[in-house]
Amino acid sequence: MKKTWLTITACLLTVACSSTPTPDCIYNCAPSINIGNNNTNSNNNFGALTEPQRQALLKYLESQVKQQWGDDNYLQAGKHRYVKYFAGYRTRAHIDFDNGKIYVSTIANNATRHTLKQAIEETLLMPADPSQVDLFSDKSIPLNGKPFLLGQVKDHQNQDIQWPWRAGQYADYLIANKLKTQKLQRGTAYYVEIDMVEDHLEQREYQYADLIRQAAKRYDIDENLIYAIVKTESSFNPYAVSHAGAYGLMQVIPKTAGADVFNLVKNKPGIPTKEYLFNPANNIDTGTAYFYILKNRYLKEVQHPTTKHYTMISAYNGGTGGVLATFDVDRKQAMKDLNNLQPNQAYWALTNKHPKAEARRYLEKVLNFQKEFEAM
């Protein structure tokens, strides 16, 4: 019921829920435009990063940060953690989505309060579309459109923060009343700590209810599964990144799942850029389309629907090869063995015998979250 209300409310706020077309195509079809992509950000014209380029970018970021903060205070963005640097890498914002905390800090010696205030404002008003924000540099954040944190943070007057004047007022209040210091190897950090509202996770779920509903219908994938995957992968953090090079809400890796969706569903050459995958609509569409490929191509021979459901979830994390390797080194024999098992037996194998420990835990975690969403 709660999820239904979220979807209805999201539709009302966006004037009307758009119709949901069927997938563009699946195999060998004419070129088509992206499904559900209204993003016109010019950053999407950038070519996709190669793995060496991505690694070089991260190494440069690390070197710049450590030069300012020291080796012991290096912090980078993750799946459930937002980290953005500003002002010569001497100021940063850190959002801990698991614990509902926001930290904005600076080690700048000159104009400390002004620098900190600007970083607080940019953090509170950062856009809901992460493709506009460069997480891997110290560039400022463009403040336009609906703030991502709207509804997830209240100011000192218990008001939502949507406009620059209110963000500025709250920043002044925090600096005047909540400013803290911490001694570091290379000086002193000045910082403020902001508590997110108790239901911040639900507030983020609400933001993507309509996108998830549309993608589920478009690709005939269980809506509750998509919710469970997003919660597992990113805690509904659209800025999520991973050490493996995955981006966004559903943690899509451009060169694997992203490439498959482009080539098999979109009939587009190449792989998606990180800017493309940081866009929430693109990300949810791409992640759900990959489930469609798993269901109808890579795992189409799995006979029992419940067993197929388990293998799809496991393959989303550890690949189809990892699923089959759980049962036999020979892929054809593995499929035979899998189809000879009852769903509970297949589940036991995937959560106890899968070659990757992360994949064993992943299936159990996603299914538990899926049950939670089904009960709403």
Q: What are phi and psi of 226, to 5 degrees?
A: -65, -45
Residue 15 above 80 pLDDT?
Answer: no
pLDDT for 290: 98
Tokens 């000086």 locate to: 187
Q: Which CATH architecture has domain 2-47+202-374?
A: Orthogonal Bundle (1.10)
How far is it, in rounded angstroms, from Cα 338 to Cα 307? 8
How far is it, in rounded angstroms, from Cα 149 to Cα 120? 12
State the average pLDDT over residues 316-340: 97
pLDDT for 28: 32
State the average pLDDT over residues 291-303: 97
pLDDT for 3: 58
Residue 138 above 80 pLDDT?
Answer: yes
47 pLDDT band (50/70/90 cuts)?
low
**Exposed/middle/buried for residue 186 (C-beta within 10 Å: 0-12, 13-18, 19+):** middle
How far is it, in rounded angstroms, from Cα 164 to Cα 68? 29
pLDDT for 187: 84
How far is it, in rounded angstroms, from Cα 12 to Cα 249? 23
40 pLDDT band (50/70/90 cuts)?
very low
Mean pLDDT for the chain? 88
pLDDT per position as a tens digit, 89-109: 999 999 999 999 999 999 988
Nearest to 23 by CA among 11, 32, 14: 32
Residue 27 above 80 pLDDT?
Answer: no
How far is it, in rounded angstroms, from Cα 299 to Cα 356? 19
Nearest to 131 by CA among 145, 117, 151: 145
Tokens 């008003």 locate to: 125
Nearest to 284 by CA among 53, 20, 2, 9: 20
Amino acid residing at 198: E
State the average pLDDT over residues 274-303: 96
- The four Cα atoms 163, 166, 168, 171 give a dihedral, to 10 degrees, of -120
275: tokens are 């800017």
Amino acid residing at 121: E
Task: Tell me the chain's radius of gyration from C-alpha atoms.
Answer: 22
Residue 336 above 60 pLDDT?
Answer: yes
pLDDT for 55: 85
Neighbours of 88 (CB within 10 A): 12
Output the CA torsion sign for 291, 297, 301, 305: positive
pLDDT for 132: 87
Contact call for residues 238 and 130 (beta carbons, < 8 A)? yes
pLDDT for 248: 96
Domain ranges of the chain: 2-47+202-374, 67-200
Whole-prediction pTM: 0.84
Cα angle 121-207-131, degrees, rounded to a multiple of 5: 60
State the average pLDDT over residues 11-24: 39
State the average pLDDT over residues 54-80: 90
Residues listed for the chain? 376
